[in-house]
Structure 1
Amino acid sequence: MMNIRNINKLMILCFLALTQCSEDPLDKRPLGAISEEVVWNDESLALGFLNNIYSRALPGWATTASQLSDDAHGENGYMYGEAQPGSMNIYSGSYTTIKDINLLLANIGTGTIDTEVQNLMSGQALFFRAHLYFRLVSTYGGVPMVLEARDKSDIEALQVPRNKTSECIAQILSDLDEAAELLPIAYPNAAADYGRITKGAALAYKGRVLLHYASEQFDPSQDKGRWQAAYDANKAAINLLSANGKGLHPSYENLWFDESETNPEAIMVKRYTLDQSHNRDAGCRPFIVGTNGESFDKPTKSLVDAFPMKDGKAIDDPSSSYTYDPTALWVDRDPRFSATIAWNGAVWPLNNPAPNRTSDLEWTFQESAIEGQADSRITPTSFNCRKAIDGSIEGGAASLSSPTDWIEIRYAEVLLNLAEAANEVGLSAEAYDILIQIRERAGIEPGLDGSYGLAAGMDQDQLRNAIMHERRLELVFEGKRSSDLRRRRMYETINGTYRQGYRITKTASFDALDPSEEILDDRIALEEGINNGSIDLNDPSVYNTYFNTELRSVERFGNIDDDGSAINYLDSYYFFDIPQDELNKNPNLEQTNGWPGGTFDPLQ
């Protein structure tokens, strides 16, 4: 018999499903009349329960992840070695959702719901249990693997020790394998069920799990031999996905706005609407008075410099067909550059009100926003992120409610996962081929040798660096860079450094563009000159006529004259501490090594 607490939860979660999903709109049985038997015998109620799991477990836009990397500005304490014990707390919330997943898995087969529907629901629930446990394991190392719904009153049953990390990974993989067996390649009503977990998503996620488990976070000495399993899993995912219509979207820039089941690149998606929206657009766009001061994904100089030229060669590669100029740094770059980054003077159509926008040109020089509050919020790096930003959304309050879907797993990521694993098992030719596919879709020129700017004859270490570099560019601002730095223990490569940007100011020549003393009038005059062709900011000498550019640190306390605080990501952050509240509740929990009182080895 199900405990009354669980029945109450079911009644609360399923009442909306009962009143909203029932075929009979007049069928509004009293809340107290919904029993355990009714729930698991009513497909709509059970689906409502599953949908609630989706809403809590499915990842959304990673708006602050880039702050934990070298890609964006962000004065986050983790980057300075100042994380307090318990600050990384995803523990109890994850287990709350896992409990509901276990509840569904235990009860979905007890009623009269069609067996095929039961299997579909079970497959989705198993996927999310694997996802939540992997999120926990990636954060803390091994955690208690609770696979049954347990009542809070059963204290002894809840006070279980941490499983070894290897045991957790084994169970996660088992759940994903079982989910893949139960899930369809595509749902019969593909349009209505777009966003539901499929067999392809389960296989792709398994590949991601094994890629992480093979990496240095879980295997610092790289002597566990886990890369072959990662390769096999990602190869299986690519084979199934590509055989069933998945692949790279024709447009790197526009793939985010193809929100339908026909998007070949979307493997795992969180859907948004105006009623269930996110605020990422407001934080990436230039600040507009009326928003809340969100600030996301402000690109650093390091990221800007990382994009190659149009021929795929690095900006400092003398063999490139193009000459890089540090003033007109946007000219002749990898097409992903302009699809990702907006610079001072860039063409970026945005539906922003005047005086923020008086043309399709973006301005990031000091005082360019005209209004005092907005001027104080000009991007500190001089760059804004335009990736996946819907310029048609009205600026200001409306941009706080963006409906653009989040793609948690793209086909490009699965390809890059495969390339990385292929290189580690000695299949360099396959890794090369994948990098070429990625760069070809990006629009990079093939060159006479068809290498798309990739150096020939790279050894394993060089190819590994090339793959990680390509991941940084292709998956930028998707929450993957900080994850990559952590799983491959690459924070040591940026520790002691300082993220930088530019401070751009107007010149006397800018002030002389219009007879009035208003900056806005001068800016409009400059825009008119650019639009009629009399002023070409792609010419460095012309650009410097109107703007001064100074390098600055964007670290905490940093400015033009002071580097501020250096990056100092600690080794203990590769596996965080269990929050003290959880230790107090469960005396059988060990704290993670590297934290006060820690005895649990997350590498076992």
Structure 2
Amino acid sequence: MKKILSLFLGVSLLCSSCNDVLDVEDISNYNPELVWNDANLANAYMANLYPMFGNWNTGADAFSQQLAGINFYADRITITNGEFKLWNYGRIRLINQAIVDVNKGRLPDAVKANITAQALFMRAYTYFEMVRYHGGVPYITVPQDRYEDDLAVPRNSTAECFDLIIKDVDQAIAGLPKKIATTSADFGKIDANFALAFKAKVLLWKASPQFNPSRPFNNAYWAQAYEANKKAYDDLKAQGYGLVDDYSNVALVERGKESVFTVINSYPNKVANWDNGVRPGSESRGPASAVPTWEFIKEYPMKDGKMFNDPSGKYYKSEEALLQSFWKDRDPRFAKSIVWNGKVYEVSGKAGKRQYTALGVAHELDDFGVNPKAGVNSTNLDRYTGFFILKNSLLKLAQAEVQQYDVDFVVMRFAEVMLNYAEAANETGKMAEALDILKQIRKRAGIEPGADGNYGITANTTAAMRETILAERNVELAFEGHRFWDLRRLRMLDRLDGTTKHGVEAIAVQANGQDMPIGEAREKANRYELVESDFRYSLLQVPRSGVKVNVVPGKYYFFPIQRDILDRNKNLEQNKDWGGSFDPTLP
């Protein structure tokens, strides 16, 4: 893929710029005679579509309770604005062009078949994203000519879209290599394993309450989802996919056995903004753009796998007790994912460094609090929480190097395949299979197995196991962009509606419990002498100003088609919860 990326400049020879040649509005500049008769240009054309799979995004979970910020406010989404709208027909045009034109060229048949398979998968992937937003959309499978073709096509039903997505994926699987070796020059391209795991994910969504509100957990689609997810799990596991030993290395050790599909980054040609966006400001190039909330901190289980307030738990404590000792006896994934006040945080090669957030003690780019004795005001009260993200951070980068972050972005990892399988198994009456998956994940996490060997899992009904799986996804896939979509898929957006978010202020104290003089605390902090227990903690709502409460109405289970799109195509119907007549659910 790195070699292919270098060929982008070759495509630019076809017109004034690389972007123009792949722009639907300037498609007349695209010369299929050149592209599809030259393997290098053909691969470059396809490589120019791969950014569709995204890259590291610090705000991937900004719409859930995991990260600070009230991102849902009254009328955040309307039919006129561009919020939560996805209408990627420019990309569909380019994909369909490849499917049609590659087979007209003189490339070897094997090359044609592979490009066709990649494009079919990309088409399915793109349509799934649109269906996930809006329900059924027009499923166009040929490159339309804006001058000669009728572009005013109606929406396919949601059921038709799912059928066509699966058809495209199945055809793609038949033409893709089963597994691309990590040592191959083609590593980073789509293979059949990724396509198989994606198909299983699509069928999980098809069965979900989002699309089946009248029969959320007892529809026939769950059986299809189970078969597909079990096959994906079994097939990939048989080929060597699995959980890496250390949760810290799910991405940082690149091309590991847990990575099902990755986007390749390589400094200086392609980098991501992860470290620059999650580090404390004093160790980055600006303030952190994403920080965890107290609400999320509470959702990590204890070392025995049970919640802090579970009376049957070995580490049971009240919420106030948790607030004063939140770092103690937690699921080991907590320490590998979160930075907190007083924690050893050897970033930028600073041996023994501890991170502080206390106002008047911490660096001004890291502090959070309102302590009047500090003698200064924090500028971070609307954006910080007293916590930072550690997960997937490349600590070896010096402060000046944070923009050189080039860890490969993991689009799908085997843990997600496992959790998808567990969910489908549970909903089809196979709770033992679901439990086995969760036990594997918790064992890798380092949770104590307990006397019964169930790693703290006590669910004995389908509904209880459903909640257990959802909670496990929340922690295992933290900051990877799943939480909001999981709640939406399961029709649980009411868990976000009306909620607030909080951070934790730290104030240094002496052994007698009295506040430590700020000057003394600052001197000790400069020598990294203060540990977590040298502080008392209190909650502060964040943000401190502006909108403070989430507003997430039920009509957000399907987002509207933008009015501008409807105005340009009179054959499109708006979704029924947004003033139209189109029902985006399944029959």
CA deviation after TM superposition for structure 1 residue 593, in Å:
1.7
> CA 1:247–1:16 in 2, change beyond 3 Å: closer, same or farther?
farther
Q: Distance in 2 between matches of 1:106 and 1:197?
A: 19
Q: Distance in 2 between matches of 1:111 and 1:145?
A: 25
Count of aligned pairs: 548
> CA 1:434–1:548 in 2, change beyond 3 Å: closer, same or farther?
same
Matched, 1:390 2:394: yes
| Partner of residue 374, structure 2 | none
Q: Is the 8 A contact 2:84 2:559 kept in 1?
A: no
CA deviation after TM superposition for structure 1 residue 225, in Å:
2.0
Paired residue secondary structure (2:399)? coil
Where in structure 2 are the equivalents of 1:90-239 lying within 5 Å?
90-92=85-87, 94-154=88-148, 156-187=149-180, 190-221=183-214, 222=216, 224-239=219-234
> CA 1:475–1:68 in 2, change beyond 3 Å: closer, same or farther?
same
More off after superposition, 496-505 vs 175-184:
496-505
Matched, 1:37 2:29: no
Q: Distance in 1 between matches of 2:538 and 2:120?
A: 53
> CA 1:285–1:588 in 2, change beyond 3 Å: closer, same or farther?
same
Pick one of 562, 572, 576 that aligns with 2:559.
576
Q: For the aligned residues, what is the CA RMSD?
A: 2.8
Q: Distance in 2 between matches of 1:13 and 1:584?
A: 38
Q: Per-residue CA shift, 1:91-117, capped at 9, x if unaligned?
A: 34x211111110000011122211112
Q: Is the 8 A contact 1:269 1:406 kept in 2?
A: yes
Structure 1 stretches of at least 4 aligned residues deviating more than 6 Å after TM superposition: 10-13, 508-514
CA deviation after TM superposition for structure 1 residue 521, in Å:
2.5
Quick one: which amino acid aligns to residue 208 of structure 1? K
Matched, 1:462 2:464: yes
Quick one: which amino acid aligns to residue 165 of structure 1? T
| Partner of residue 603, structure 1 | 585
Where in structure 2 are the equivalents of 1:409-488 lying within 5 Å?
409-455=412-458, 458-488=460-490
Q: Is the 8 A contact 1:366 1:506 kept in 2?
A: no
Q: Is the 8 A contact 2:282 2:365 kept in 1?
A: no
CA deviation after TM superposition for structure 1 residue 66, in Å:
1.5
> CA 1:59–1:426 in 2, change beyond 3 Å: closer, same or farther?
same
Q: Distance in 2 between matches of 1:243 and 1:524?
A: 52
Q: Distance in 2 between matches of 1:513 and 1:71?
A: 32
Paired residue secondary structure (2:219)? coil
> CA 1:474–1:517 in 2, change beyond 3 Å: closer, same or farther?
closer
Q: Is the 8 A contact 1:380 1:503 kept in 2?
A: no
Q: Per-residue CA shift, 1:301-332, capped at 9, x if unaligned?
A: 22211111112122122333335442121111
Where in structure 2 are the equivalents of 1:189-588 lying within 5 Å?
190-221=183-214, 222=216, 224-260=219-255, 263-274=256-267, 275-288=269-282, 291-296=285-290, 298-324=291-317, 325-326=321-322, 327-351=324-348, 359-371=352-364, 376-377=379-380, 380-395=384-399, 398-455=401-458, 458-507=460-509, 517=519, 520-525=522-527, 527=528, 529=529, 537=532, 543=533, 546-555=534-543, 557=545, 565-588=548-571
Q: Distance in 1 between matches of 2:358 and 2:351?
A: 15
| Partner of residue 5, structure 1 | none
> CA 1:488–1:42 in 2, change beyond 3 Å: closer, same or farther?
same
Q: Is the 8 A contact 1:251 1:441 kept in 2?
A: yes
> CA 1:512–1:491 in 2, change beyond 3 Å: closer, same or farther?
closer
> CA 1:224–1:70 in 2, change beyond 3 Å: closer, same or farther?
same
More off after superposition, 184-193 vs 458-467:
184-193
Q: Is the 8 A contact 2:155 2:572 kept in 1?
A: yes
> CA 1:220–1:412 in 2, change beyond 3 Å: closer, same or farther?
same
Q: Is the 8 A contact 1:380 1:502 kept in 2?
A: no
> CA 1:317–1:11 in 2, change beyond 3 Å: closer, same or farther?
closer
User: TM-score under structure 1 normalisation?
Assistant: 0.85
> CA 1:251–1:508 in 2, change beyond 3 Å: closer, same or farther?
closer
Q: Per-residue CA shift, 1:260-288, capped at 9, x if unaligned?
A: 3xx11101211112221121211211014
> CA 1:34–1:574 in 2, change beyond 3 Å: closer, same or farther?
closer
Q: Distance in 2 between matches of 1:448 and 1:204?
A: 34
> CA 1:81–1:381 in 2, change beyond 3 Å: closer, same or farther?
farther
Identical residues among aligned pairs (%): 36
Q: Is the 8 A contact 2:307 2:316 kept in 1?
A: no
Q: Distance in 1 between matches of 2:107 and 2:545?
A: 61
| Partner of residue 49, structure 1 | 45
Q: Distance in 1 between matches of 2:520 and 2:412?
A: 48
More off after superposition, 58-67 vs 112-121:
58-67
Q: Is the 8 A contact 1:13 1:49 kept in 2?
A: no
> CA 1:365–1:517 in 2, change beyond 3 Å: closer, same or farther?
closer
CA deviation after TM superposition for structure 1 residue 373, in Å:
8.9
Unaligned runs of 5+ in 1: 1-9, 19-31, 531-535, 538-542, 559-563
Q: Distance in 1 between matches of 2:29 and 2:155?
A: 39
Paired residue secondary structure (2:150)? helix
Quick one: which amino acid aligns to residue 339 of structure 1? K
